[in-house]
Chains A and B, each alone.
Chain A
Amino acid sequence: MRFWEIGKRNLKEIYRNPVLLGFLLGMPVVFMLVFCSAFGQGTVEPVRLSVVDEDQSQASAAFVESLERIEVVELWGEVYSEEAWAKEDMEAGRISLYLLIPRGFQDAAAAGQSVDLGVVYEGADPMAGLRVKPVLEAAGSQFLGMPAPVNVEMKGVESKIENEIVNFFAPGIIVFGLMILISVTAEVIAADREKGFLARMLTTPAKPWEFILGYSLPFIPVLIASTLIYLGVGMAMGLTIVGNLGHAFLIFFLTGLSAVGIGMIVGSLIKSESQAAICWVFIVPLAMISGAWWTVEAMPQGLQNFAGGLPFIHAINASRSVINGVPLSAVMGDLYWLVAWAVVLFSLGIVFFSKRMVG
């Protein structure tokens, strides 16, 4: 198994290189610590949330009632039955944020289907919208996941989230952290090409796929370790995993694979280690349009569609949902997208690598 031997060699080159190892494992720690200390500590005022209940059903009323138990949310004013009135009040400055429960909520709940809950916030206070979003998502999915909504025990489920800002942003931060692997993997291949070591290996009968696997393999333990660090430090610092930790891990793992796959492609194409810097030309914009640091809803639709074609927006959406308690089955679309990208990227890596085997 040549790829295994190449992988072993590359792993040794990494773990015997204290600087690189320090970067790979230290960066997640620092990243998460800084992020969580920035947003994780301050005491948070409850958000004043108004409700528009267009459904006017038993289920919707029960749902609104359940929201009262969420600590970070303070239900504000009367429950509107039509959105127009809420809009009017918002324009008049009486409310700044409202939740829209659409018509058909009860039917959907009974049928076990999902519903798009709307959150509308005043432009002046975008943070309020961001803060309640994960909480409402969690509450809504939890509520709709039950077969008989009227009898739901909702006690304190959503209030598990200690700090909704951390919960909202952490997935994006982690995905961005994993995207840095793009440049690291590209560098590792390019350095070997530049020094001529790859040429030496290319005089042996190893196949392109064996090289691609051999160069990605050592990043599997790196990926596992850094994902665990991200989640571990995050949880120690205020990230609440409402949903399944294993599922969240799986999503981050697939994200990392895509990053390594892109790194393999770039590494196959560039000539020298220093050229790996070009990765940053797309890592940062990619992180931006994928919503690593903010919500993408405000972006133009065209850009949203474009980002939707790429893997990372799905990684952020899926991990955010799963962390906030949405079952994995509800994000299978995102998950398939990630798997498909990983397969495509690695195949492309092999194609590009074999093109560059002979000069």
Chain B
Amino acid sequence: MDAIETTNVTRKFNGLVAVAGIDLKIRKGELFSLLGPNGAGKTTLVRMLCCLLRPTAGTAFIMGHDITKESFKVKGLIGVSPQDTVLSERLNCWENLSLVGKMHRISSEEVRECSKELLQTMGLMERAGEQVKNFSGGMKRRLSIAMSLVHDPAVLFLDEPTLGLDPQARRAVWEHIALLKKEKTILLTTHYMEEADSLSDRIGIIDEGKIVALGTPEELKRDFFTGCGMVIRAEDIPVGIMQELCGRYARVERINGGVEISHGELDFHEVVEYLFSRGVIVSSATLKQPTLEDVFIQITGKKLRE
């Protein structure tokens, strides 16, 4: 039995198709990332799997339980960190965590133990006794993630868990998620390529409500990125030359201290020669490893927001 199995799950909003018949099987203990541009349908899919939205067609099973017919069984198994941070603003960290724990009928001692651990991991211990309404966005976010974990759920939904966190906090969350791998099934949505790349067992790229690519990060990079790219370090490339480059190659992007070029077939020498001939001093030129971002752009034709 798979931990999450969807069959043709579909959701329309007055004609707008947010999720267009997704079939997905996520194994127990797998960490699966959903990658997609804004409005791709990630949150809508997650909300259906959490029994908050009714599918217009199709259905899904969480640990073998139908989300439409056995919603209370499903709810007993899942932990959810919603995209928008929502907390009970006038409660402190302990009380917020305990509320979720109690909804799952966890004993007070267990809740306390588990909360302690989570607050430590999330770096919230010092201010755990304060009403959370005065917390910063990042602190709220971290508590929100902790709330999805306090009852030790078998299946975890993390909708953009690291949105709005500083790099240090993001790393702490990633480390914690990495620890949970294997033990739990995790469905994560994100727009941080690094996050998806390093954490996921498999990635599904979703666009306009459909899964358009599916595989391990390596598979995706291998199978879907056909072109090649290079990174050129050069001082002050004039605007005119940038425009000419844009005319010649599929994707040209100015980066700090140089330019990044991608094209179906790229002659390394030709590019460098051309730049030389225009009087640009090239200090280095390297071939670029394909990244998930490249794969993503190739498949969807869109950039992920950053």
Residues of A near any B CB (own CB < 8 A): 2, 5-6, 9, 12-13, 16-17, 195-197, 199-207, 358-359
Tell me the complex Cα distance, A358–B72, Å.
12
A9-B95, A204-B75, A207-B72 as given contacts; A196 in contact with B84, CB under 8 Å: yes
Is A205 in contact with B72, judged by CB distance below 8 angstroms?
yes
B147 — nearest CB in chain A belongs to which residue?
A: A200
- Number of cross-chain contacts by CB at 8 Å: 70
B51 touches A203 (CB 8 A): yes
Say whether B54 faces chain A, with CB atoms less than 8 Å apart: yes
- Chain B residue numbers with a CB within 8 Å of A358 are 51-54, 71
B75/A196 in contact, CB under 8 A: no
Pick the 7 closest A-B CB pairs, nearest first.
A204-B103, A5-B102, A16-B90, A196-B86, A205-B75, A203-B80, A205-B76
Instruction: Report the separation of the CA atoms of residues A197 and B91 in the bound assembly, to the nearest whole angstrom.
Output: 13
Residue of A nearest to B13 (CB): A359
Name the distance in Å between A354's Cβ and chain B's nearest Cβ: 11
B82 near A200 (CB under 8 angstroms)? yes
In chain B, residues 206-238, which have Cβ atoms closer than 8 Å to a Cβ of chain A?
A: none
Identify which of B80, B82, B90, B98 contacts A13 (C-beta below 8 A). Answer: B90
27-64 of chain B: CB within 8 A of chain A:
47, 50-54
A-B contact pairs, 15 of them (CB 8 A): A2-B102, A6-B99, A9-B88, A17-B90, A196-B82, A196-B86, A200-B82, A203-B75, A203-B80, A204-B103, A205-B72, A205-B73, A205-B75, A358-B51, A358-B71
Is B172 an interface residue when CB atoms closer than 8 A count as contact?
Answer: no
Asked whether B53 lies within 8 Å of A12 as measured between CB atoms, the reply is no
CB distance from A149 to the nearest CB of B (A): 60
Contact call B82/A199, Cβ cutoff below 8 A: yes
Contact B100 A204 (CB under 8 A): yes
Judge whether B149 is part of the interface by a CB distance below 8 angstroms.
no
A189–chain B nearest beta-carbon distance, Å: 14
Name A203's contact: one of B52, B84, B99, B102 (CB within 8 Å). B52
Q: Is the CB of B99 within 8 A of A359?
A: no
Task: List, in ascending order, chain B residues with CB within 8 A of A202's CB.
Answer: 51-52, 75
* Chain B interface size range: 20 to 34
Interface centre among B47, B91, B103 (most CB of A within 10 A): B103
Q: Find out whether the CB atom of B102 lies under 8 angstroms from the CB atom of A359.
A: no
Whole-angstrom distance from the CB of B152 to the nearest CB of chain A?
A: 13
Q: In this complex, what residue of B is CB-closest to A358?
A: B54
Residue of A nearest to B157 (CB): A203
Q: How far is the CA of A2 from the CA of B72 in the complex (A)?
A: 14
Establish whether residues B52 and A359, one from each chain, have CB atoms under 8 Å apart when the complex forms.
Answer: yes
**Binary per-residue interface labels of chain B (84-123) against chain A in the complex, 1 for a CB within 8 Å, 0 otherwise:** 1011111100010011101111000000000000000000
Check if A206 sits within 8 Å of B82, measured CB to CB.
Answer: no
> What's the Cα separation between A247 and B44 when bound, in Å?
53
Cα distance A2–B91 in the bound complex, in angstroms: 17
B residues less than 8 Å from A201 (CB atoms): 103
CA distance A75 to B147 in the complex (A): 74
Residue contact A206 to B103, C-beta cutoff 8 Å: yes
Q: Does B300 contact A (CB under 8 A)?
A: no
B87 touches A197 (CB 8 A): yes
Residues of B within 8 A of A207 (CB): 72
Name the residue among A12, A199, A204 with the largest chain B CB count within 10 angstroms. Answer: A204
Chain A residues within 8 Å of B72, by CB: 205, 207
In the bound complex, CA of A13 to CA of B50 (Å): 26
Q: Which of B246-264 contact A (CB under 8 A)?
A: none
Q: Is the CB of A12 within 8 A of B95?
A: yes
Is there an interface contact between A9 and B103, defined as CB atoms closer than 8 Å? no
Residues in A neighbouring B8, C-beta threshold 8 A: none
Specify which chain A residues have a CB less than 8 angstroms from the CB of B291 in the assembled complex: none
Complex CA distance for A205 and B50, rounded to whole angstroms: 11
Task: Name the A residues within 8 Å of B95 (CB-CB).
Answer: 9, 12
Known: A5-B102, A9-B99. Is A195-B86 also a contact (CB below 8 A)?
Answer: yes
- Please indicate which of the listed interface residues B47, B73, B86, B95 has the most CB atoms of chain A within 10 Å of its own CB: B86
Please state if A199 and B86 are interface contacts (CB–CB under 8 Å): yes
Best-buried of A12, A16, A203 by chain B (most CB within 10 Å): A203
Measured CB to CB, the closest approach of chain B to A90, in angstroms, equals 62
B78 interface residue (CB < 8 Å to A): yes
Whole-angstrom distance between the alpha carbons of A195 and B90 in the complex? 14
Knowing A2-B102, A12-B91, A207-B72 touch, does A200 contact B80 (C-beta < 8 A)? yes
The complex places the Cα of A324 from the Cα of B43 at a distance, in Å, of 61
Q: What is the bound-complex CA distance between A12 and B73, given in angstroms? A: 29
Which of A6, A17, A359 is the most central at the interface, judged by chain B CB atoms within 10 Å of its CB? A359
Q: Which residue of A lies closest to B98 (CB)?
A: A5
User: Which B residues lie within 8 Å of A12 (CB)?
Assistant: 88, 90-91, 95
Given contacts A2-B103, A358-B53, 9 further A-B contacts (CB under 8 A): A5-B99, A6-B99, A196-B82, A196-B86, A197-B86, A201-B103, A202-B51, A204-B100, A359-B54
A202 to chain B: closest residue by CB: B52
Roughly how many angstroms separate A187 CA and B247 CA in the complex, as a whole number?
59
User: With contacts A13-B91, A196-B84, A197-B87 known, is A205 near B52, CB below 8 A?
Assistant: no
Considering only CB atoms, which chain A residue lies closest to B96 in the complex? A9
Residues of chain A within 8 A (CB-CB) of B53 are: 358-359
Assembled-state Cα–Cα distance A239/B76 (Å): 54
Q: How far is the CA of A239 from the CA of B99 in the complex (A)?
A: 44
A205 touches B103 (CB 8 A): yes
- Are B91 and A9 closer than 8 Å at their CB atoms? yes
